[in-house]
Amino acid sequence: NAGVTQTPKFRILKIGQSMTLQCTQDMNHNYMYWYRQDPGMGLKLIYYSVGAGITDKGEVPNGYNVSRSTTEDFPLRLELAAPSQTSVYFCASSKQGRDEKLFFGSGTQLSVL
């Protein structure tokens, strides 16, 4: 049981490039989330999903897209990378949502130069 797995761990992008951050969980959790963590700031919710085929915006969705074709996978897409997207990204999952603790992946450190 690996929990929540994120890839890659590190990535450097040039301005305007695109990439997909991968996230998969093997706990059969319905809810999945993407957060970004900036220095000195709390985690900010980018997008979340309550189940396969259902996604919704969080607090800071601009510049990102997501899809949820399966229960296990929840990739995050950056289409036109900008320096403001330099951050550490965390994927998380929970079984039912608001009354359940979140399980986090180990994070992706992204730099946009």
Partner 1 sequence: GESVGLHLPTLSVQEGDNSIINCAYSNSASDYFIWYKQESGKGPQFIIDIRSNMDKRQGQRVTVLLNKTVKHLSLQIAATQPGDSAVYFCAEIAGNQFYFGTGTSLTVIP
User: Which positions touch partner 1 (CB under 8 A)?
Assistant: 4, 33, 35, 40-43, 45, 48, 58-59, 90, 92, 97-99, 101-107
Query: Least distance to partner 1 from the beta carbon of 27, Å?
Result: 13
Of residues 66, 84, 82, 71, the one with CA closest to residue 22? 66
Query: Least distance to partner 1 from the beta carbon of 104, Å?
Result: 3
CA distances for 28 relative to 25, 53, 108, angstroms: 7, 15, 22
| Residue among 40 and 62 whose Cβ is closer to partner 1 | 40
Query: Least distance to partner 1 from the beta carbon of 73, Å?
Result: 17
Q: How many CB atoms lie within 10 A of CB 33?
A: 23
